[in-house]
Amino acid sequence: MTKFGKTIIPFEYRPEPHELDTAKFFNKLGKDVEFLAPVYVKNAKTPDIKMD
């Protein structure tokens, strides 16, 4: 039996369709994907997702 991952999306964030497609790809490989809410700080580099 194949274990599928799950996708977690915070209430205040709306991922782009291509981001959801990427999450689905990793879900099929058994990975959990959590989208992170954007941080709006000038010149800050922040991750978009957390994957397990």
pLDDT digits (tens, 9 = 90+) for 7-38: 999 988 889 999 999 999 999 999 999 999 88
pLDDT at 1 over 70: no
- Residues paired with residue 24 on neighbouring β-strands, in sequence order: none
Residue 2 located in a structural domain: no
Question: What local confidence, expressed as pLDDT, does residue 12 receive?
Answer: 83
Residue 1 located in a structural domain: no
DSSP 13: -
Terminal Cα distance for the chain, rounded: 19
In the structure, how many helices (H) and strands (E) does the chain have?
A: 1, 3
Residue 29 located in a structural domain: yes
- Higher-confidence position of 40 and 51: 51
Q: Domains in the chain: how many in total?
A: 1
The one-letter code for the residue type at 43 is: N
Pairing state between β 7-8 and 33-35: parallel
Residue 11 located in a structural domain: yes
Listed in sequence order, the residues at least 6 apart from 21 whose beta carbon sits closer than 8 Å to its beta carbon are none
